[in-house]
Amino acid sequence: MSDWDYNFGIKDFSKTVNNREYRAWRLTGIFHETRLDSGKIANRTMGSYVRGKTKKGRDSIAVRGFWGDIVNSPYFAFGNEIYEEPERTRFLKEVNYQRIYSNADISEYIIVSQIKWLEEMEKFDFPFERLKHILGDDYNSPAEKAKMAKKKAAEDAKLKKKLDVINEVEEPMIQEITDEEEKKIKEEKKRKQYNQIF
């Protein structure tokens, strides 16, 4: 049943939700796996009681179950769309017709970036380690490569200026003198020596 709902209800509307995530949601009620949780126990917090009647005696009883919208799932709330570039193209990148990042990764990025913005007023930089590992040198677009090269050249120029200032030592002043000036200097030295003796 979950496979039918995924293929005819979710797949066409949200490409970021993969079949494995959706099936886990339908079977266990766990929306996103956390790093420290094994996810083997069903999420019973969404269960509730509703008044119902037994089939045989029509007695009033409380029926426990999930009475929300299990078909659509909570994947549409955070992980369906991302608007910032270049994060959007990186999150939605496909390799061999499969997305590298899932709905859980997009949801995590959006929630963490909102929290970081509220706490520190800074943009959150997602590391994209999986994408860097898969794409290697093709990770950055040509425009980004040019921008990075320009930035590196500017940093290298600043560093070179700093090194030039540090290495700049006053060189002793060397002047070329003529033969006549050399003779005058020698005569003055002799005169000073002679004066010191007497």
Task: From 74, 21, 82, select the one nearest 6 (Cα to Cα).
Answer: 21
Instruction: Provide the H-helix boundaries in 47-102.
Output: 75-78, 87-91
The pLDDT of residue 19 is above 60: yes
Average pLDDT over residues 82-104: 84
pLDDT at 171: 56
Coil/strand/helix, residue 63: strand
Placement of tokens 């990075």 in the chain = 148
The residues near 70 (Cβ < 8 Å, ≥ 6 apart) are: 26
Q: What letter does residue 37 receive in the DSSP assignment?
A: -
pLDDT given for residue 117 in this prediction: 92
pLDDT recorded at residue 3: 76
pLDDT at 115: 92
3-state secondary structure of 184: helix
Task: Tokens 């290298």: give the residue.
Answer: 156
Q: Tell me: pLDDT of 101 over 80.
A: yes
| Residue 89 vs residues 19, 83, 106: alpha-carbon distances, Å | 21, 9, 12
CA distance 66 to 30: 13
Question: pLDDT tier at 175 (50, 70, 90 boundaries)?
Answer: low
Question: Chain-wide mean pLDDT for the chain?
Answer: 79
Residue 116 has pLDDT above 90, yes or no: yes
Give the span between the Cα atoms of 106 and 16, in whole angstroms: 8
As to burial, measured by CB atoms within 10 angstroms (0-12 exposed, 13-18 middle, 19+ buried), residue 74 is: middle
User: Could you tell me the two tokens for 31?
Assistant: 């929306």
Q: What is d(CA 20, CA 22) in angstroms, rounded to the nearest whole number?
A: 5
| Burial classification of residue 194, based on how many CB atoms lie within 10 Å of its CB (0-12 exposed, 13-18 middle, 19 or more buried) | exposed
pLDDT, tens digit, 9 for 90 and up, residues 139-169 = 776 677 778 788 888 998 888 888 777 666 5
Q: What percent of the chain has pLDDT over 90?
A: 4
- Highest-pLDDT range among 68-72, 120-124, 194-198: 120-124
Alpha-carbon distances, residue 77 vs 24, 90, 104, 110 (angstroms): 17, 20, 11, 11
**C-alpha span between 128 and 104 (Å, rounded):** 14
